[in-house]
Amino acid sequence: MTHSLDSIVIGGGVVGTACAYYLARAGHKVCLVERSYLAAGSTGRCIGGIRAQFGTETTIRIMQESIRLFQGMKEELGTDIDWYAGGYLFVAESEERKKAFLKVMELQRQLGLDVRFISPEEAARLVPGLNTDGVVGAAYCPTDGQANPFAVTYGYARQVKARGGRVLTDTTIRSIERRNGNSMLATDKNERLSAPVVVAATGPWLKQTAAMVGLDVPVLAERHESLVTEGVGRLFDSMLVDYRGGGCYFHQHVRTGHLVGCYTPVPNVPGDRADSSFEFLCEMPRRMVNLMPKLAPLKVLRQWGGSYEMTPDGSPFVGSTPVEGFYLAGGMCGHGFMLAPAVGKLLAEIITTGKSSIDLAEFAFGRSFRYAELLR
Amino acid sequence: MPAETIACRCEDVSEAEIEAVLDEGFTSLEAVKRILRCGMGHCQGRTCRTTIARMIVRKTGRPLAEVLTVSSRPPLKPTPIGILASAKRKARA
């Protein structure tokens, strides 16, 4: 049988559930389709960092909006999402890095972001036990923070259901056909869904989803890895981003006290693999004790892998496509969780009113790839 | 099992809390783990996994083998950061 809807969202990660939530809030009859369980892809593998310290105007503006939404999300969704404004601290290990930070900081401050360059002593005060060898300072933004990706995703999904929307898990879309201004989606459960609006929010699989309507979207998955330690009492508040010795970043979960972190592998590991490596299990701890020697006795509980979905310029695709009624919300380049609230809100504005309150030209599908994200 | 029985000791989750999530329609170990953190604590699910899987079997009638889906991830047991960090250096030497 065919279900007629106002919009269909493909992908049950944080981006898809956020889009479905804001569409439902705008009065749409929505159906979200997820081929596995909610947060089974990149969302469930992300460590929950949230920052507005970016290098391009659109991303900074969108992240300022996202942070505003995270701040009020407990009330909005009626569930605690573990939002905590612990800040983000980028350690500068060279004069060159400092110069790069100061340059993006000009733009960030112009846009009203409370970001500053602090001395190594101040960094060590904020992060007791921080190894400041060779550190010339740090970029610090106290309004950045963290939240719980699972709580946010399930929070959005529950609100979609509460507003009469459907959330189909363990359901795969087999085909998408365009007919008289509608998209007809066939599921593997012999259901047909029909709607004028389809949002593809399938993360590392965006390319394959878009190919079903004949679009070629340049998004490629790369494997990143993470690990989590046992929970301990509060050690520090910020996300720490270090570039020394190959680099790494980690923070401490505000409620559980677990430390959770990653690094960017060099060279990159292409493909949508979610396996984990022994190399990472040893290398990440080495980088963590370099940054903070007192972490040595902390026990690692678990490691895992997941995808960053990369675009040619480091910015996502959010908005319409040449296929009428077919929208993209993907290619988040490792920032899907933090971008999701604003992306969901703005895309719903585009779909329901024709324009968004923040200009998304930088994220347009047809853009030329001349921007490059400076803060990876 | 009384409702207040703790099914996941690491994260302090009761049978009633799990039952409520199953009633809501989230009937996989993966979803229960992500909503309630069962399996993410110190024992990594070694204690609670089978208990919760059996609750899902009771609720859905699906076979246990089909329900016990979560991956066990390395390391095999909690291992100090300092030990892992030095293991790498030896491997390189």
**pLDDT tens digit sequence for A264-318:** 999 999 999 999 999 999 999 999 999 999 999 999 999 999 999 999 999 999 9
Q: Is the pLDDT of residue A374 over 50?
A: no
Q: Which of A55, A46, A1 is nearest to A306 (CA)?
A: A46
Q: A61-70, A210-219, A364-373: lowest mean pLDDT where?
A: A364-373
User: What percent of chain A has pLDDT above 70?
Assistant: 98
| Per-position DSSP letters for A296-364, written without gaps between them | TTPEEEEEEEEEEEE-TTS--EEEE-SSTTEEEEE--TT-HHHHHHHHHHHHHHHHHHSS-SS--GGG-
Check: CB of residue A67 under 8 Å from CB of residue A52. Answer: yes
Q: Is the pLDDT of residue B89 over 60?
A: no
Q: Is the pLDDT of residue A61 over 80?
A: yes
Q: Is the pLDDT of residue A39 over 50?
A: yes
CA of B85: how far to CAs of A212, B33, B90, in Å? 46, 29, 9
pLDDT confidence of residue A369 = 84
Q: Is A4 helix (H, G, I), strand (E, B) or coil?
A: strand
Q: Is the pLDDT of residue A376 over 50?
A: no
Average pLDDT over residues B51-57: 95
pLDDT one-digit tens code per residue, A318-367: 999 999 999 999 999 999 999 999 999 999 999 999 999 999 999 999 99
**Which of A278, A282, A288 best probes binding to B when mutated, by most B CB atoms within 10 angstroms?**
A282
pLDDT confidence of residue A279 = 94
> Which residue of A lies nearest to B77 if distances are taken between CA atoms?
A301
Residue in A153, A231, A285 nearest the CB of B85: A285
> Which residue of B lies nearest to A155 if distances are taken between CA atoms?
B35
> Which residue of B lies nearest to A158 if distances are taken between CA atoms?
B24
Give the pLDDT band (50/70/90) at residue B93.
very low
**Which of B73, B76, B83 best probes binding to A when mutated, by most A CB atoms within 10 angstroms?**
B73
Give the pLDDT band (50/70/90) at residue A372.
low
pLDDT confidence of residue B90 = 52
Chain B residues in contact with A302 by the CB 8 A cut-off are 40, 44, 73-75
pLDDT confidence of residue B69 = 79
Average pLDDT over residues A124-146: 97
pLDDT confidence of residue A371 = 54
A282–B88 C-beta distance less than 8 A? yes
pLDDT confidence of residue A5 = 98
* Distance (Å) from the alpha carbon of A94 to chain B's nearest alpha carbon: 25
B73–A276 C-beta distance less than 8 A? yes
* Distance (Å) from the alpha carbon of B84 to chain A's nearest alpha carbon: 5
A255 touches chain B (CB under 8 A): no
pLDDT confidence of residue A50 = 98
Average pLDDT over residues A26-53: 97
Give strand pairing partners of B53: none
Average pLDDT over residues A20-25: 98
pLDDT one-digit tens code per residue, A86-120: 999 999 999 999 999 999 999 999 999 999 999 99
Tell me the Ramachandran region of residue B39: left when phi exceeds 0, alpha when psi lies from -120 to 50, beta otherwise: left
Predicted structure pTM score: 0.95
Average pLDDT over residues A218-239: 97
Q: A191-200, A203-212, B67-76: lowest mean pLDDT where?
A: B67-76
Give the pLDDT band (50/70/90) at residue B84.
very high
Euclidean distance between CA atoms A145 and A251, whole angstroms? 10
Residue in A36, A169, A303 nearest the CB of B74: A303
* Residue in this structure with the two tokens 């990876």, named with its chain if needed: A376
pLDDT confidence of residue B36 = 95
pLDDT confidence of residue A245 = 85
Check: CB of residue A47 under 8 Å from CB of residue A305. Answer: no
- A–B interface: beta-carbon pairs under 8 A: 86
Beta strand spans in chain A (E):
2-4, 7-10, 30-33, 49-50, 88-92, 116-118, 137-141, 145-146, 166-168, 173-179, 182-187, 192-195, 197-200, 220-231, 239-242, 248-252, 258-263, 299-310, 317-320, 326-330
Q: What is the mean pLDDT of chain A?
A: 96
B2 touches chain A (CB under 8 A): no
Check residues B88 and A184 and name the one with the higher pLDDT. Answer: A184
pLDDT confidence of residue A375 = 46
